[in-house]
Amino acid sequence: MQDTAALFPETYETSRDRFHQDLAVVQKLWPDAKINQHKLAGEEDLTIDWILSDALEENEKILIFTTGEHGVECYVGSAILQRFIDKYINKLDPNTTGLLLVHAINPWGMKYHRRVNASNVDLNRTFLYDGNFDPGFNPEYSSVNALLNPEKILNSYSRSNISFYAQVARHLVGKGYPALKLAVLLGQYRYPRGLFYGGEGYQEETRTLIDLYRQAFGAYDQIVHLDMHTGYGPRYQMSLVNSVLETRTSPEFVEIFNYPLVVAANPDEFYAVSGDMIDFVYALQQTEFPGKKFYSTSFEFGTLGENLKGQLGCPRAMAFENRLFWYGAANDELAERVKYDFEELFNPSAEDWRTKAVADADQAFEGILRAQGYLPTVS
């Protein structure tokens, strides 16, 4: 295996520069491949970048690879994208297969190590096919708003921890864990400074991706889409997370892909999301392009583990980071500890974690691309 450490970038800028350099690698197989950019509004040099190339002879199928919908997660996403470029694109058939490789859907979040965009919008709650950003959606979120989004400075790490888990305990006694998890993670369109806020309408980043998806469906008969995420799930086993709109079952995909952990984005197998990007692309295909062959999944690289401590540790770290961003901390030491916990939640520094993440991605690439006809079958 190549040097795993070299795959993981240190900054948004170095990651973007490397992606631009990858164009030359892609052009060896797809000579007409080009780098495209959408610069975000504002003065900062923040761009959504993508490499796009049609097939050389006939547009039969396209491979779409997206990263960084949650900005801070793009450090891992960039590493896995680089792995794909280094090891797998030369196994594809450029005569019949096109490429759409997207670097940093949320460049602001990547640059500033935040999950959301500059408007505090969680982009994976914005892909609503019906465009209905209803502030009354998920009324149960109001019951956890004080838990997740206290409007005050962080004074003490230990006291904030005690307060957080004491409130969690009260919710668990009153409603149980499944109801709490659903209320927290489903998404909300009411509290602009809160976690999992989906905004009031499509974001600039959302519109850019929607346009790219429509173009791909218009040009190709078969589409496979792989999206990169980190956070939930077992620490040392990446999960393939399928849309609730996918009709085949998780056990079927385990067998088809020869991959050990496949789940659906529902409360029983993973968690439910409103405005999920992959759900949107499925709705797009089923509504506007019903004749197209399509499969999409998320690579979810877990970091804290699946036990209750790990599952509650995710929203705790996110809540503390969000509170720090809006209201600050009593001292620099406390601020740095909160930032460290948040970074480790989405971009773990442990070498063994990174090595296993790359190995899991390799196994998933092989299974998915062979099953979908993008790689030759093994005799």
Percent of the chain residues past pLDDT 90, beyond the cut: 94
pLDDT score of 301 more than 80: yes
Q: Coil, helix or strand for 51?
A: strand
> Tell me, what's the pLDDT at 231?
95
**How confident is the prediction for the chain on average, in pLDDT?**
96
- List beta partners, residue 197: 188
> Tell me, what's the pLDDT at 1?
46
Pick the CATH number of 4-131+198-303+348-371 from 3.90.45.10, 2.40.160.100, 3.40.630.10, 3.30.465.10: 3.40.630.10
pTM for the full predicted model: 0.96
Find the DSSP H helices in the chain. 4-7, 12-27, 74-87, 107-111, 141-148, 157-175, 177-185, 204-219, 250-257, 277-288, 308-327, 332-346, 351-371
- Mean pLDDT across 34-42: 97
So where are the chain's domains? 4-131+198-303+348-371, 141-185+308-343
CA-CA-CA-CA torsion for 241, 243, 247, 250, nearest 10 degrees?
Answer: 10
Burial 79-114 (b: 16+ CB within 10 A, else e): bbbbbbbebbbeebbbebbbbbbbbbbbbbbbbbbb
Residues 125-138: tens digit of each pLDDT: 999 999 999 999 99
- Mean pLDDT across 29-34: 98
Question: Distance between CA atoms of 97 and 195, rounded to whole angstroms?
Answer: 39
Token pair recorded at residue 358:
């790359």
> Tell me, what's the pLDDT at 5?
86
Backbone angles phi, psi at 188, to 5 degrees: -150, 155
pLDDT score of 379 more than 90: no
pLDDT band with cut points at 50, 70 and 90 for residue 377 = confident
Edge-first strand order for the sheet with 222-231 is 34-39, 47-53, 97-103, 61-66, 222-231, 293-302, 239-242, 262-264
- Mean pLDDT across 342-363: 98
Residue type, 99: L
Mean pLDDT check: name the lowest of 177-181, 190-194, 236-240, 254-258.
177-181
> Tell me, what's the pLDDT at 112?
98
> Tell me, what's the pLDDT at 2?
58
Question: Distance between CA atoms of 43 and 276, rounded to whole angstroms?
Answer: 29
pLDDT band with cut points at 50, 70 and 90 for residue 378 = low
pLDDT band with cut points at 50, 70 and 90 for residue 242 = very high
